Amino acid sequence: MSLFKHNYSMAQTATIYKLQVSAFLRLSTSEKGTPPWKFAISDTSFPKTFMALEYLINKATGNEHMALVREIFTPSCALNHVDFNVEEITDDLLNAVDYVLPFIPPSMVTEINNLLETISASAILDCYRPEELNANHIYPEFWLTEHITILIPDFEALKDIFRSASENEYYLLSTIE
């Protein structure tokens, strides 16, 4: 059962998939719509917490690494990248959107891991203010004091993913559904 007062079955969830280089290359040439989990070594999901984690990591680092932190859940690199800076948005362009897979290359995984390694769970705890998250419209916008008990384990899981991926030079795919 969720610790959240309101349990929405349609909650936004970020999922990070860990892929070896060879699996990433196979995925990059696979048929449109092939799910990334077919190639992943593992995956970890962050239901309802990913926006708060991003906010708290930024706060813990004094907002000095916002662009890098943004890469965790919304990477700027993508397989089948779609350029929306066009004069006309066609059906073909919209159909391509279904298969955009944001990823983090190994070099950036290491950079993010190095940043995450400088942040402790106690720093996240010190930054956690439910009323601040709610005032800043951080999804799901009904944070309570006790929700820190799910944020800390999710933060530790995030660090574990990046540590392992960095050590093994894996790609990470990050999706939000």
pLDDT of residue 114: 98
- Topology of the domain covering 13-83+91-176: Hypothetical protein yfbM fold (3.40.1760)
Confidence of residue 100 (pLDDT cuts 50, 70, 90): confident
pLDDT of residue 6: 38
pLDDT of residue 7: 43
Domain ranges (residues) in the chain: 13-83+91-176
State pTM to two decimals.
Answer: 0.85
pLDDT of residue 36: 83
Q: Which helix (H) or strand (E) holds 8?
A: none
Question: What is the C-alpha separation between 122 and 142, in angstroms, rounded?
Answer: 22
pLDDT of residue 35: 82
Q: What is the mean pLDDT of residues 7-30?
A: 84
Question: What is the C-alpha separation between 4 and 145, in angstroms, rounded?
Answer: 11
* Tens digit of each residue's pLDDT (9 = 90 or more) over 119-169: 999 999 999 999 999 999 999 989 999 999 999 999 999 999 999 999 999
Alpha carbons within 13 angstroms on the beta-carbon side of residue 114 total: 8
Provide the mean pLDDT of the chain: 87
pLDDT at 31 over 90: no
* Tens digit of each residue's pLDDT (9 = 90 or more) over 37-75: 889 999 999 999 999 999 999 999 998 999 999 999 999
pLDDT at 32 over 80: no
Contact by Cβ (8 Å): 148, 125: yes
pLDDT of residue 49: 96
Q: Which amino acid is at 48?
A: K
DSSP classification of residue 128: -
CA distances to 7, 66, 70, 134, 172 from 63, rounded to whole Å, are 31, 6, 11, 18, 23
Nearest to 143 by CA among 127, 160, 159: 127
Question: What is the C-alpha separation between 141 and 25, in angstroms, rounded?
Answer: 38
Q: What is the mean pLDDT of residues 71-97?
A: 70
